[in-house]
Amino acid sequence: MAYLDRYLEAIGLLHKLRSEVRGNFPGDWQTKARDCLLGWESKHELCARKIAERIKPLADLYVAGRTRFAGGVERACHLVADDFSQLYNNSPQTAELAKWMPINITIGDVRYKNRSVFQVTTESLLEAVERGRSRPHEDLRVHVWLTGRI
């Protein structure tokens, strides 16, 4: 709860110091804000439990069956993300869960020691999106990973 308390303190300071925003706060904003944050924390805990119970075992099985990729795993992130996404959405173990806790394929760059690994540009991102699903032999020039929505 320390994080929630600090967050509410920060919002309270905004309310106190910035008179122009006070009109945007309802009279009982502190109670509503705390209830909202507690609700988010409860949802977060539920999602974490579902990940541990259902998604992690599926991921463990997936990884155990795919330990080697032609050309190295560092260039297979798009295949892994797409393949696992399909498995997650269609597996009897997780298909129902996927309806209310979907995962998305996300593309972007990776930075290591403040250097771009893939030299991603706006143009390379747009090209990857326009091409759609990649083929195993393609080099996307972007990193691909899975993200969840809750």
Distance between CA atoms of residues 28 and 122, nearest Å: 43
Phi-psi region of 121 (alpha: psi -120 to 50; beta: other; left: phi over 0): beta
Q: What is the pLDDT of residue 59?
A: 84
Q: What is the pLDDT of residue 28?
A: 67
**Type and span of the H or E element at 92:** none
In the chain, beta strands by DSSP E: 103-108, 111-112, 115-116, 143-148
3-class SS at 103? Answer: strand
Q: What is the pLDDT of residue 90?
A: 92
Q: What is the pLDDT of residue 133?
A: 73
Mean pLDDT for each consecutive 10-residue tract of the chain (150 residues)?
68 74 68 68 77 85 67 67 88 87 86 88 83 71 79
